[in-house]
Every structure is written in structure tokens, then in C-alpha cells.
Amino acid sequence: MAQPLEIACDESGAEGEKLVGGNTDVFAHAGVGMDPAAAADCIAELRARAPSLASEYKAGHILRERHLTTLRWLLGPAGPVLGNAHVFLADKPFFAVGKVAELLAEGDGEAGGLPGIGLRADPEVRATAVDLYREGPAAFGAERWTAFLDSFNYLLRAKNGQGITTSVEDAFRLVGDLRGAGGRAGAIVERLWRARARVESFRERLLADPHVFPALDPLIPGIVSTVAYWGRGGRPVSVIHDRQTTLTDERIAQLRELLSERRLAGLRLIESRLDARVQVGDVMAGVARKIASDELAGRGDPQLTALLRPYVDARSIWGDDRSWALLGRRPDEVMSR
């Protein structure tokens, strides 16, 4: 077996399985394939160009307006990360819509399909998700659309924090209010109304198994995409990752089973301040999330968006055509390294 390639990872915008109504609308996961010396040099250069007295260099230090030149240098062709970093993006509300669409798929009705994949490979599932995501707000009104997403976000979470509970009855009372909206969004809601038994079955499985894989956490597809990208050609990948409460020993074992040990050779957690590669991952994830979120909201900086594009994973979970046309890459646009 080939020697595993060690990739350092960090994320930005993680809120566990809370996809709607949180602090961020975009999640970003970065994988960095630099050696420790090169990563240390990168952080040292960032400190020289955009000084900070903080003991650990973070994305926020170069996201300030006065450091825009440094940010452009970092992402640009003269910077140290082009070809050595990769970013997976998830539009969190679209991810939530995708989980609802998966409940309508023929078969076992398991929301999420394979854990960590995000949207099942079935093109019909993605088409349903895209239709609902794009037409839902206008068909139902912004307030009812947000309430609908929020209720199903809580319903499909493995754990509901903050003492909030949403029952199938509560969620389907809202679905009933949305019936008859017309158009493709209305037709999808009608299908969901008829799929109540499937939703109840899925919810029962969540409640019965406290160790269920967190299908709504975008960190999982982020790691899967990282391994798939850096391990293309069959090379095994060993991941070092900033500490994350989601990544328990049991979750790591589940990930290794999902990806098989031949692809994910190992995953260990480390304090980011102890490894410059993880700090570069933090910077890349943070700037990618901010640039992508701004573009999704229609207030993007065209130059920064264009500079981010070579880093973005073609398998990112994204539903907005306009912003993806600027941010995203086709599967055949493979970044060289």
C-alpha cells in the first residue's frame, strides 16, 4: 500500500446539525497538503503582511478591509496555497432542503442516503431539492418557508439542543398549511404530506439510536470530500483535524468504515495552535466561507470570488445557480498539485 498522504483540515461555519437560523448560512471545510515547514513559512508571511499579536493566526486577521491586498496575495498565483489547498462548501439551507428531498426518494427512505454524502447520487433527488429550494420562498412566503425549513431541520436532527423539541405532528401541521400552493414547490409539499409515515419511521430510528450518524452535519461530507479529492487515484489519506466535538472516537470509526481503511488511513485531532498546517486550514476555511457567503447574498467581491474558484470542490453542496456559476468548478476542472 502506498504511503498515506497527510492532509491538515479545519472548518468554518460549523454549527453541528443546525442548518437553518444559525449564525452562518455557509459551511466551509478546507484540506491543506503542505509540509510543516511550508505551512510555517505561510503563517510567518501572513503575520508580516497582516500583523497580529494573537498567538494563533486566524482567518479573521486577513478578512479586515485593510488587509485585502494580503488576502488577494494568499489566494492568488503568487501565493503559497494554490495547488496545496482544497475547499468544500455547503449552502446550509440547501443542505436542509436536500434532506427533505431524500425522504421522498423511492426505496428505504433513509434521509441522507449514505452518511456523509449530503445529497444522494440519484438525480431525481437533487432535482427535487433544487426545485423546492428555488421556488419555495416565493410559493410559500419568506416567513412560512423559514418556519418549514426550521421545523424539518429540528425533526431530522439526531440531537435537538437548547431544549427545543419538534414533533412530527408539529411539522406536518405546517406542511398541511402549505398544501395547495401550486407549482413545483406545491407538488413537492403534497408528496411530503403523503410521506408522513416514512418521516415518522425515520424519526423513530433517530430517537431509538443515540449513536446514529449525524446525517445533517456538513462536517461529515466535508471530510468525505477531502478524502475523495486528495485520495484520487487510490492513494490513502491520513487526516489531521482541528478538535471538533462531532469527531468522537465512535464517529471516526464510522468514517473509516464508510470510506474503508484503504482510503482513510487515519484521522487524529490536534490543537490548531500546535500545527501551522491546521492554522493554514483555518485561514482557508474562514476566507472561503466569507467569500462564498457574500457571493450567495449577491454582495460578492468579483476579484475575490474569482480567486477562490480554483480551490472549490466540484462536489460542494450548493443550490443557487448564479453564485455557483462564479464560485464552482465542473468535475473536469481538477486543480493541479
pLDDT digits (tens, 9 = 90+) for 181-193: 889 999 999 999 9
Residues 230, 87 share a domain: yes
The verdict on 186 and 240 lying in the same domain is no
Give the H or E element holding residue 72. Answer: helix 68-75
Task: Examine the pLDDT at 110 and tell me if it is beyond 80.
Answer: no
Number of structural domains the chain divides into: 2
Neighbours of 247 (CB within 10 A): 19
Mean pLDDT over 105-112 rounds to 51
Predicted local confidence at residue 242, as pLDDT: 94
* 322 and 235 housed in the same domain: yes
Phi, psi (degrees; rounded to nearest 5) at 58: -125, 165
pLDDT for the residue numbered 66: 94
Higher pLDDT pick, 334 / 221: 221
Rounded (10°) CA dihedral 93, 99, 105, 108: 180
109 pLDDT tier (thresholds 50, 70, 90): very low
Task: Give yes or no: residues 294 and 315 share one domain.
Answer: yes
Over residues 292-318, mean pLDDT: 96
**What is the distance between the alpha carbons of residues 137 and 160, in angstroms, rounded to a whole number?**
25
Q: Is the pLDDT of residue 333 over 70?
A: no
Q: Span 320-324, mean pLDDT? A: 95
> Are 107 and 176 part of one and the same domain?
yes
Q: C-alpha dihedral over 146, 152, 155, 156, to 10 degrees?
A: -130
Task: Tell me which of 208, 226, 257 is where a domain ends.
Answer: 208
Q: What is the pLDDT of residue 48?
A: 96
Mean pLDDT of all residues in 96-119: 64
For residue 239, what pLDDT is reported?
96
Instruction: Looking at the structure, tell me whether residues 259 and 319 fall in a common domain.
Output: yes
For residues 295 and 225, membership in a common domain is answered with yes
100 shares its domain with 85: no
Domain assignment of residue 108, given as a range:
92-208
Q: How far is 95 from 89, CA to CA, in rounded Å?
A: 11
Q: Considering the domain boundaries, does residue 236 fall inside one? A: yes
Q: Where is pLDDT greater, at 124 or 282?
A: 282
The cell 471545510 sits on which residue?
A: 29
Give yes or no for residue 262 having a pLDDT over 60.
Answer: yes
CA-derived radius of gyration, the chain: 20
Would the pTM of this model clear 0.85, i.e. be above it? yes
Rounded distance, CA 162 to CA 159, Å? 10
* CATH code of the domain containing 31: 3.30.420
**Type of residue found at 253:** A
Residues 137 and 200 in one domain: yes
Q: Assess whether pLDDT exceeds 50 at residue 123.
A: yes
The whole-number pLDDT of residue 33 equals: 97
Could you tell me if residue 335 is inside a domain?
no
Cα 307 from Cα 298, distance rounded (Å): 17
Question: Quick one: 104 and 161 in the same domain?
Answer: yes
Instruction: From residue 324, give the alpha-carbon distance in Å to each of 18, 238, 315.
Output: 23, 30, 11
Question: End of a domain among 208, 240, 264?
Answer: 208
Pick 213 or 98 by higher pLDDT: 98
Q: Are residues 140 and 234 in the same domain?
A: no
Confidence of residue 323 (pLDDT cuts 50, 70, 90): very high
Whether residue 336 is contained in a domain is answered as no
34, burial (CB in 10 Å: exposed 0-12, middle 13-18, buried 19+) = buried
Q: Are residues 66 and 30 in the same domain?
A: yes
Q: In angstroms, rounded to a whole number, what is the distance separating the alpha carbons of residues 228 and 284?
A: 19
Mean pLDDT in the chain?
A: 88
Over residues 291-318, the mean pLDDT reads 96
Please tell me which of 1-10, 240-249, 302-311 the model is most confident about, judged by mean pLDDT.
302-311
Residue 75 located in a structural domain:
yes
Q: Which of 162, 183, 208 is the last residue of a domain?
A: 208
Q: Give phi and psi for 86, each to the nearest 5.
A: -145, 140
